[in-house]
Structure 1
Amino acid sequence: MRDERRCADGAKAGRRARKAEWEARKAEWRAAEKARKARGDAPDYGSGPMGPPNAFTLLPWLLLGMGALSNIVHGETPNPWIGALGLLLFNSLYVTLVFRAFDQRARQAAATRWCLVALGAVTCAMAAVYGGSWMLFFPLLGLATGAVVRGRRLGQVMLGISALAGVIGGLREGWDALGIVYGTFLSGMVTAAILALAETVRELRDTRQELARAAVDQERLRFSRDLHDLLGHTLSVIVVKSEAARRIAPRDMEAALGQVRDIETVGRQALTEIREAVTGYREASLASELDRARGALTAAGIEPLVRQSGPPLPPQAAALLGWVVREAATNAVRHSEATTCEIEVRGGAERVRLVITDDGRGTGTTPPGSGLTGLAERLAAAGGTLTGGPVPGGGFRVSAELPVETAVGVEEGATP
């Protein structure tokens, strides 16, 4: 009983969800038509709110039993009370099955299978006893079977029901029963195909919505990474230059004003980069990031040693390594208390390697922060690797290795 109650509750919830989806679809279509009319466009009669098939779309087929009902009413059926009871039982089982067929849990329940068996027994009994218009209940049985049975078993079940209809129809109607056999098999297979197609469309719609949500989440992750990398580096440079201006202002005002001008330049550049990051068109160039790293390290009192060898890099690989240079230089300025920082880029025919080593405390970025973690994810998506950790004897080293031919579609920061 509990299973039956749960199935019934699930069926009710499914019907409420489908009704809500139908109402939302109608509201969306009406809004679109209202906007179309406001623009002066012609009505679009082909894009109305066509809802997915449901149990109510299968109920009108019960009109096939009107011939049997007419025979009972006009007294043309022997033992009319038995015929009326059979007709009532058939309709009740049919309605129960078609409503349970549109809820997955109810459709797969054992009670649904027993209802289908009972419907088949009633159909065979009434067709064998009365024949004639009662044979039309076999196509209805096929329709209910196509709505309930799915997968590979459907073909076998429909062949069995069609054969049973052929045997009973042959005994009662002779060769005229061939149409009943054909209608029984066709009704079941077509119904199953239509419902399977509707479920596939629904799943595709859900998948599209999930992909849209994933794209939004990916864009949020991209923006948070870019914002972290941009502001972390820029604010570190501003802090270092502000401290330098404060130290040298008492003895050299001109030099202090130069630092202030640099702060203004860095701030304006940061505003431009943030706007570009928001619109998604910023690309971190390796050459420009190396120049910025030199300036930031020098302003912090750290001697930069930059060495670069190998052929020119593709834009994708250069952009990814530019982000690594920016993050590692920012960490050296903020955490290392180093005196020197060595940046080495070694390019080859297939892979390029970037190594950034400082002689500071070696503990400022262990465990790695969100910046290095995000960069490791970016490089991993492009087939590369990123490692970072203390150097024996003091210092910190960040190593990045990347294929020269990175995939065009790989995310590299804010590059579209």
Structure 2
Amino acid sequence: MVAIGFFAASVVATVGNRDGLMYQVPAVVVLLLLLGFQIVHAGPWRLERLWWPWSLFVHGLLTYLPILVFDGSWVGIPGSFAGSVLLTVAAPRSWILFAVLSVSQYPLTASLGGTSGQCVNAVVSTAVGGIVVFGVARLADLTAELREARTELAERAVDRERLRFARDLHDLLGYSLSVAALKCQLAERLALEDPERARAEISEVLVMVRQAMTDTRWIPSGDLQMSLAQESRSAASALRAAGISVEVELACGALQPEVDAVLATVVREAVTNMLRHSAPRQCRIRAVRGDLGAVRLTVSNDGVPAAGAPGEPDGGHGIDNLTERLLAVGGQLIAGHGESGWFHLSAVVEAPAAGAAGRPAGAARASRAA
């Protein structure tokens, strides 16, 4: 629109100063060509054309040669060419050429018999016209870049939300389903030998399934309420039901909600992998706070072959999910074998102590159970 506006103003100014079709028709034709070059040099495709120096050269010829025919009526035309120079030539050379083109209008107008006021007006017109062309074209470029950035940010936000949803679903249901399956197997074995205990196990499965359904409703909001103390107690109960000796020690004090939830997730994933991929007889869950304020949570279990680990041979993403969660709160995940077939999964987080108010009482005190 700006280029067409310049074209219309130039046609009116040039044709109005010359009578006769032999002047007016060529002027309009040349101005149409200049309009085409202006659009070519101002559009977003300008930097993709390897031959732009030649088109810029032809643009310059069509800008300045007609001055020999149209005299002073043509002196306002170089403004669009100066804008093309700013858009196509790399800085700082473009600004040097722009300054030369603007200043050269003074002697050029003077040579055509213009007064000093007309010479200054020609310089200012060329400078302002070039800056307007350059500014509008760059504005269009920035608008396109902003749209692309906005689209990319939206796509990244969708990807992050999809990953978060999948991660939360895995962390919540993976543990619940694994423990529920374990308790169902136990209830099946006890159905004839100890019906009362079998019914108790089934009742616990129902409670766990209902809790899993409740947790699943929180996934879309991303506001999962999880506690390290609560998850440790739940894990200990599930492991003891499977005949595994459990030792729990929580000596980390009160934790900030986001750190508490992440460490609770570590316990869930560690116990899930333990039940799926090893045959443990003993398990230890220990969380302590160091002298510098770092909290270290370690989940250890035996029953792991020397060449294996309670990882995810079936292609799961639990360990990766834990690593991402810990990185988000400034922590790290450490996993490895210990002595005599023990496997240790540790999470270390720099976690300043949270206020005791509003926190679960179980999260603020150390407990130990054999």
Give the corresponding residue for 2:78. 138
Across the aligned residues of Structure 1 and Structure 2, the Cα RMSD in angstroms comes to: 2.4
Give the corresponding residue for 1:286. 228
**Matches of residues 46-195 of structure 1 in structure 2 within 5 Å?**
56-63=1-8, 64-74=10-20, 80=22, 85=26, 88-104=29-45, 106-107=46-47, 109-149=49-89, 151-172=91-112, 173-175=114-116, 176-195=118-137
Percent sequence identity is 32
Cα contact 2:326–2:333 (8 A) shared by 1:
yes
Tell me the alpha carbon deviations over residues 17-74 of structure 1, each in whole angstroms, 9 at most, x when there is no partner: xxxxxxxxxxxxxxxxxxxxxxxxxxxxxxxxxxxxxxx5412311213343345542
Tell me the alpha carbon deviations over residues 163-209 of structure 1, each in whole angstroms, 9 at most, x when there is no partner: 22211101111312221110001111122122212322321222122
By how many angstroms is 1:265 displaced? 0.7
332, 344, 352: which is aligned to 1:385? Answer: 332
CA distance in 1, matches of 2:336, 2:75: 81
Tell me the alpha carbon deviations over residues 310-355 of structure 1, each in whole angstroms, 9 at most, x when there is no partner: 4322222221111101111122222221111011111134201111
By how many angstroms is 1:293 displaced? 0.7
- Give the gaps of 5 or more residues in structure 1: 1-55, 407-416
Tell me the alpha carbon deviations over residues 140-179 of structure 1, each in whole angstroms, 9 at most, x when there is no partner: 4334445545643332122111122211101111312221
Give the corresponding residue for 2:211. 269
Name the SS of the counterpart of 1:99 in structure 2: helix
Calculate the TM-score normalised by the size of structure 1.
0.76
CA distance in 1, matches of 2:3, 2:175: 65
Give the corresponding residue for 1:20. none
Give the corresponding residue for 1:236. 178
**2:286 is the counterpart of 1:352:** no
By how many angstroms is 1:373 displaced? 1.4
Cα distance change, pair 132–100 in 1 and its aligned pair in 2 (3 A): closer
266, 274, 280: which is aligned to 1:332? Answer: 274
Name the SS of the counterpart of 1:249 in structure 2: helix
Give the corresponding residue for 2:367. none
Tell me the alpha carbon deviations over residues 56-99 of structure 1, each in whole angstroms, 9 at most, x when there is no partner: 54123112133433455427xxxx57x85576345314313313
CA distance in 1, matches of 2:140, 2:238: 60
CA distance in 1, matches of 2:246, 2:297: 15
Calculate the TM-score normalised by the size of structure 2.
0.85
- For 2:327, the aligned partner's letter is A
Tell me the alpha carbon deviations over residues 219-247 of structure 1, each in whole angstroms, 9 at most, x when there is no partner: 11111111111111111111111111111
Name the SS of the counterpart of 1:250 in structure 2: helix
**2:241 is the counterpart of 1:296:** no
CA distance in 2, matches of 1:206, 1:358: 50
Name the SS of the counterpart of 2:77 in structure 1: helix
Give the corresponding residue for 2:349. 402
CA distance in 2, matches of 1:384, 1:226: 18
317, 329, 343: which is aligned to 1:370? Answer: 317
CA distance in 1, matches of 2:311, 2:271: 15
By how many angstroms is 1:399 displaced? 1.1
Give the corresponding residue for 1:44. none
Deviates more, 1:59-68 or 1:168-177: 59-68
- For 1:360, the aligned partner's letter is G
Higher RCO (CA-CA < 8 Å; seq separation 6+):
2
CA distance in 1, matches of 2:338, 2:61: 81
Tell me the alpha carbon deviations over residues 242-296 of structure 1, each in whole angstroms, 9 at most, x when there is no partner: 1111111112211111111111111111100111123322122101111111111
Cα distance change, pair 288–158 in 1 and its aligned pair in 2 (3 A): same
**Matches of residues 203-282 of structure 1 in structure 2 within 5 Å?**
203-282=145-224
Cα contact 1:97–1:116 (8 A) shared by 2:
no
Deviates more, 1:87-96 or 1:334-343: 87-96
CA distance in 1, matches of 2:64, 2:340: 90
